[in-house]
Amino acid sequence: MSKKPLQVLIIDDNLSDREICCQLLREHSEYDCTFLCASSGKSGIDLCQSARPDCVIVDYLLPDFDGIAFLDTLDADLTMLPFPIIMLTGYGDEMIVAEAMRAGAADYLPKDLLSTKSLGRAVSNAMEKHQLRRALEEQRRLLWRTNAELRRRNEEICTFYHMLSHELKTPLTAAREFVAIVIDGLAGPTNDTQREYLGIAKESCDQMNLGLNDLLDVARLDTGKLHIEPRLTAMATVVKRAVTMMLPMARSAKIDLSDQIEPDLPDLMMDARRIMQVLTNLIGNALKFTPSGGQVTVRVTQLPPEQDGILVAVRDTGRGIAPEQRSRIFERLYQAREAKEVFEGGLGLGLYICREVVKLHRGEIWVESTLGQGSTFFFTLPPYGVSMISERKQEEVST
Amino acid sequence: MKKILMVEDDKRIIAALNVRLRAKGYDVCAAYDATLAMTQAIAHQPDLALLDISMPGGDGFVVAERLRATVTTANIPIIFITALKQPGLKEKAKALGAIAFFEKPFESDNLIAVIDAALGQTATI
């Protein structure tokens, strides 16, 4: 097998040491070496830049530089060094060696151990290490570029969702408003049947609006732009409001919706609007999967002192969730993946948004269920969780 | 009769608001973009302005700033109605002295209630 050409730069102020190195490397088994020589750090650096050698062997003690200063001067960014550097040490000083390796040397060799074998192996190792490092660097750059591209596309999708939402909401508003105008009798008298049908049309508009809002939330979650605005809030108020809001839906489905709120709950730091969204989502799901005559209960209790915080449980008497689905229902686009088997309506984004909103509050969300008997969705809210997040964010900013 | 200026680039929404507001006894005038909005505001001297935010040729915030900067329209109560859903819009509207901020689709009963309260009247037909 023919040897690979290798241009080696040897930097040493001692002429005989330089010649020994050349001599030893001429017998290298793998490389056909040619040599460039420099007798000072300065001329060595000039040659590194002008001649672009494949490998550099440098004496740690030069008249103008020591090995570390040489490495520092050569390139501030060591990962970008175009060639490996082998440091020759005179004293076998471990401190020097460690520092040189940290500063970017590929290998080191005490001068008194120089031999065809040792120097040859040092060069081979250094070249191999260097090539691996280059390959790794190339992969890293590729990964970084791909990542940046994905982020850019995600941003694009997010912007597109916003435009889409705006473009759909405007006609949706007009449609909903004209339906409401007719229902309210502003376009002449209507009969009960007409009003009932128009009521369905208006509700459909509202459902479409909720779907669009979910889409926007998911786009925000994907780009890390969904932020919560926590304020000290009474959980009881939020739960009561959510239950009141869902009562009409419960009534029309003939389901008994009620709340059980422990008295004297502590106020929590939360984004009330977002927690409302979680509650209405969970209650809405419970109502959707519970047959008429069933029950949906929202229970709020204080967690034991060692855990602290509040536990919310939304319990239904619906058909329950199969064990293999329980962990997956919180996943993004769960519905899209499962749609081929059973389509339940909705985009399947609701529980994913719930999970992310609870996570942003540093709480937990999970489901317990018995097939045929019903499901209970639980979530916890820690008392100071959110303020801890904002403190951590501030720390990150200040460092 | 109190007069309301509607600034909105979607003619269907103008038409719907027109029905609602006239039914409540308000006089209305409309502008489909920011430039026309100022012309209408100066010509009609409305008692209240309903501003869409996203419009061609200058958004509702620009219209609000111009209304505020013009002596004869500086004190007109402003309500923003928008199909945009972005953080910070409501705060910006508040900073411009808006009396209310509605997202589309809006509940017209709530909108009318805010208008009635602002104009200090139970509108008469």
Question: Can you tell me which residue has the tokens 């020994």?
Answer: A20
The CA–CA distances, whole Å, from B86 to A56, A301, B83, B89 equal 57, 34, 10, 6
Mean pLDDT on A171-179: 96
What per-residue confidence (pLDDT) applies to A347?
A: 66
DSSP codes, B11-23: HHHHHHHHHHHHH
What per-residue confidence (pLDDT) applies to B10?
A: 94
Q: Which residue of B has its CA nearest to A203?
A: B105
Q: Which member of B84, B85, B108 has the closest CB to residue A177?
A: B108
Q: What is the spatial distance between Cα B124 and Cα A91, in angstroms, rounded to a whole number? A: 102
Mark yes or no for CB contact B105/A216 under 8 Å: no
Report whether pLDDT(A169) > 60.
yes
Burial of A398 (0-12, 13-18, 19+ CB in 10 A): exposed
| A113 — pLDDT class (breaks 50, 70, 90) | confident
Q: What is the spatial distance between Cα A175 and Cα A198, in angstroms, rounded to a whole number? A: 11
DSSP codes, A328-355: TTTSTTHHHHHTTT---SS-S-HHHHHH
What per-residue confidence (pLDDT) applies to A340?
A: 52
Q: Which member of A171, A176, A213 has the closest CB to residue B85?
A: A213
The C-alpha of B71 sits at a distance from chain A's nearest C-alpha, in angstroms, of 32
The C-alpha of B39 sits at a distance from chain A's nearest C-alpha, in angstroms, of 25
Report whether pLDDT(A373) > 70.
yes
Higher pLDDT, A82 or A256: A256
Q: Which member of B10, B16, B54 has the closest CB to residue A178?
A: B16
Cα Rg of chain B (Å, integer): 13
Higher pLDDT, A211 or A193: A193
The C-alpha of A216 sits at a distance from chain B's nearest C-alpha, in angstroms, of 8
Mean pLDDT on A128-147: 93
| B81-125 confidence digits (pLDDT tens) | 999 988 889 999 999 999 999 999 999 999 999 999 999 865 443
Give just the sign of the alpha carbon dihedral A184, A188, A189, A195.
Answer: negative
Take residue B1 and report the two structure tokens written for it: 């009769």
Q: What is the spatial distance between Cα A128 and Cα A144, in angstroms, rounded to a whole number? A: 24
Report whether pLDDT(A74) > 50.
yes
For residue B54, which residues of chain A lie inside 8 Å, CB to CB? 166
What per-residue confidence (pLDDT) applies to A80?
A: 60
Considering only A20-24, A137-141, A321-325, B40-44, which range has the smallest mean pLDDT? A321-325
Report whether pLDDT(A344) > 70.
no
The residues, any chain, with a CB within 8 Å of residue A67's CB and separated by 6 or more, are A58, A59, A60, A61, A87, A89, A96, A100, A103, A105
Report whether pLDDT(B20) > 60.
yes
Take residue A73 and report the two structure tokens written for it: 């001067």
For residue B24, which residues of chain A lie inside 8 Å, CB to CB? none
Q: State pTM to two decimals.
A: 0.69
Fill in the DSSP letter of residue B32.
Answer: S
Report whether pLDDT(A9) > 50.
yes
Report whether pLDDT(A30) > 80.
yes
Closest residue by Cα to residue A4 from A108, A124, A129: A124
Higher pLDDT, A52 or B78: B78
Report whether pLDDT(A78) > 90.
no
Q: Which member of B83, B87, B105 has the closest CB to residue A166?
A: B83
* Summary mean pLDDT of chain A: 87
Amino acid occupying residue A157: I
Q: Which residue of B has its CA nearest to A226?
A: B87
Q: Which member of A170, A186, A206 has the closest CB to residue B13?
A: A170
| A349 — pLDDT class (breaks 50, 70, 90) | confident
DSSP codes, A279-311: HHHHHHHHHHTS-TT-EEEEEEEEPPTTT-SEE
Mark yes or no for CB contact A166/B105 under 8 Å: no
For residue B83, which residues of chain A lie inside 8 Å, CB to CB? 165-166, 169-170, 173
The C-alpha of B23 sits at a distance from chain A's nearest C-alpha, in angstroms, of 7
What per-residue confidence (pLDDT) applies to A127?
A: 94
What are A's interface residues with B at a Cβ cutoff of 8 A?
A: 162, 165-166, 169-174, 176-178, 180-181, 186-187, 205-206, 209, 213, 216, 227
Give just the sign of the alpha carbon dihedral B31, B34, B36, B37.
Answer: positive
Choose, out of B10, B11, B14, B19, the residue to mutate when testing the contact with A (most A CBs < 10 Å).
Answer: B19
Mean pLDDT on A342-357: 79
Q: How many CB atoms lie within 10 A of CB A171?
A: 15
| A181 — pLDDT class (breaks 50, 70, 90) | very high
Mean pLDDT on A65-90: 78
What per-residue confidence (pLDDT) applies to B121?
A: 60
Q: Which member of B16, B54, B83 has the closest CB to residue A177?
A: B16
| A398 — pLDDT class (breaks 50, 70, 90) | very low
